[in-house]
Structure 1
């Protein structure tokens, strides 16, 4: 793919774009990524099982299974300013409505609506950064922007348990709604497309939407997209496994308080913020291509999960070191991964490529939390869940590392 060239006039505005895209991502993901931090409160106050908690976390990820594809197509046709801004606004309004929910079913329904708006945040912010930064800085910029997701989750892990403990779990929905509202206002107010951005792409006369969609879906057959999907599904499973199980696991197995367990989830999310920036910056300079950092993340995650299963965790320090490691690689992988996705498609198809890859990830995002919950409830142990995540990642590592040897350079359109 040819490098994006930003004109000298206004070129410094790309850093403003990076800042607001990161802020919008953190705002939209604040509650969605942080709901695991209040899982113990929801479990206690609503008398829920671990499987029900997992399903609750999956609810906000249900619509993006299709919504990411729709959002990706919208981003290729309309300004990111309005697609992302309106989507984040919908997240805000839905979460504010969630504070009025009276029970588990109503919470599920409202979180499904949250997912509709949340679908625009990931591909929209990624395309914004991809348009403003050329290849020499794209990974670093994408890493900073993608750090917004664990940053939002980290802030939520620090704030939401306190609010839930002091004022009830409903207050955490209000906080999430207000944060998302601020993100929507900032993005709509400050985002502008670069002067060299490709104009919106209308459907060509004589070309049906159906045939155009079929043409785009042929990207699935590309070897680079195959690696993207396998690695993405395995690593997103680990990421959500950490979010769903960490607080409960540390509370039950390491005999830590709910507050301390939530604080360690915050530590893991902070590790993810650092990982997304550091690993993505490395991918800009990695002579073996952007995919090598992804392979390193898979290897590191397998090692961390093995320690989690095999080593008794009765020390807060040991728990902190382990969750930091898992956070750095288990969340940090997304920086180089999404840069790899952005460079795997031609400029006019970047939005759809991002939406396609992320929508495949959504299958795991939806399925993994309740599956892990069911395994815990059925076996009364966290070991099967952690072992499943390690096995999935090992299979993906073996399958994609072999393919990457045949394409060690960065993908081109």
Structure 2
């Protein structure tokens, strides 16, 4: 009997649910402020560039700390580090809401958001380790697809609640929502997460790293996956950040109506990640689906740009299609990295993955804000379509994988 078999199926899936909720807190803390850009722009008097920069601050905090969190996860395990990480994130998110309620300066608000971002960095890497540690290889794509629902579901929660709450009760009340979600995630970790064994399985292939060796020196596989993921996150983060402004400011939708459309789109995107994971399990491949997703994302963003340029009524539907496609690849890349890196390096490997993606988000968010102000949404959508087009030929082949259970 393997160590994976020693854990009941019910416990395994309950831990996956707890890790999903923990990862959802990261999305709410880091990405939630983007859904206040219309309120910050229209009500608080910030320019679109200034509001976009404020929305990027939690991402900066996450980015500077996430590799450190990954190293701590590799050394001390998931449960302990998740508890510390989410506690810091909760403190920052709560302080941000309190600062907004008190009418503090945006410098103070930004500092609180930065703390929240710094504290939120462990959840993605930890939950990735839980999937690879507790699930056999032929279920990991599906399990990681479920875990990766955290991002679109977190966006859905923020889109459905934060703009309407800001309009009705102010920015402080809206910022309290990520704090509440983070408190729930912390409770889930304390109740349900158990550290996976350090060596549940060993991946053996012609390129695989030996235990405790640096997998980045073995081949270019991880570096190429990181590069592809950075390119593919650009349309994803652009749509998540600016679609509310596109609908509310540019197309004069009511915040509630826009929130409902975004929520429905994100829920479909979350389910799409499960489908992509199951697809990768059936194909026994993580990278071939990623290549097709990249091509689809480029085509969808180009179609959205054209539809918006001619003011087509189909533009919102094409936005939904582009959003669903653009979020489908994340779980596949996470699974491939965790499998290839192994238990001694998966925390750092996933941290590098997240650092690259969040760095791309932090850099491009104010750039896209300025670009939208200068040339409008259609051309910005068209420019965004270039990054998945560049990603498609860079997708590496899958390394051959053989599972060797350890009793």
TMscore range, shorter length: 0.7 to 0.9
Q: Does structure 2 conserve the Cα–Cα contact (< 8 Å) formed by 1:272 and 1:329?
A: yes
Aligned equivalent of 1:333: 329
Question: In structure 2, do the counterparts of structure 1 residues 273 and 42 end up closer, same or farther at CA, with 3 Å as the change threshold?
Answer: same
1:159-190 CA-to-partner distances (Å, cap 9, x unmatched) read: 11221111111101112212211211221222
Give the paired residue count: 388
Summarize the alignment of residues 9-408 of structure 1 with structure 2, pairs less than 5 Å apart.
9-101=7-99, 102-194=104-196, 196-198=197-199, 216=214, 219=216, 222-287=219-284, 289-312=285-308, 318-379=314-375, 381-400=376-395, 403-404=396-397, 407=398
1: CA distance, partners of 2:58 / 2:264: 23
Displacement of 1:408 in angstroms is 7.0
2: CA distance, partners of 1:410 / 1:237: 30
Displacement of 1:126 in angstroms is 1.0
Displacement of 1:29 in angstroms is 2.1
Partner of 2:340, secondary structure, is coil
2: CA distance, partners of 1:215 / 1:79: 19
Partner of 1:113, secondary structure, is helix
Partner of 2:6, secondary structure, is coil
Question: In structure 2, do the counterparts of structure 1 residues 104 and 411 end up closer, same or farther at CA, with 3 Å as the change threshold?
Answer: farther
Q: Name whichever of 246-255 and 117-126 sits farther off.
A: 246-255
Partner of 1:6, secondary structure, is coil
Displacement of 1:314 in angstroms is 5.4
1:329-359 CA-to-partner distances (Å, cap 9, x unmatched) read: 1122211121111112122211111112221
Partner of 2:154, secondary structure, is helix
Q: Does structure 1 conserve the Cα–Cα contact (< 8 Å) formed by 2:276 and 2:332?
A: yes
Gaps of 5+ in 2: 201-211
Displacement of 1:410 in angstroms is 5.5
Q: Does structure 1 conserve the Cα–Cα contact (< 8 Å) formed by 2:238 and 2:368?
A: yes
Q: Name whichever of 305-314 and 10-19 sits farther off.
A: 305-314
Displacement of 1:265 in angstroms is 2.1
Question: In structure 2, do the counterparts of structure 1 residues 378 and 323 end up closer, same or farther at CA, with 3 Å as the change threshold?
Answer: closer
2: CA distance, partners of 1:302 / 1:410: 30
2: CA distance, partners of 1:399 / 1:99: 42
Partner of 2:345, secondary structure, is helix
Question: In structure 2, do the counterparts of structure 1 residues 148 and 300 end up closer, same or farther at CA, with 3 Å as the change threshold?
Answer: same
Displacement of 1:6 in angstroms is 0.6
2: CA distance, partners of 1:41 / 1:162: 10
Q: Does structure 2 conserve the Cα–Cα contact (< 8 Å) formed by 1:275 and 1:332?
A: yes
1:6-31 CA-to-partner distances (Å, cap 9, x unmatched) read: 13353431111111111112233224
Question: In structure 2, do the counterparts of structure 1 residues 367 and 220 end up closer, same or farther at CA, with 3 Å as the change threshold?
Answer: farther
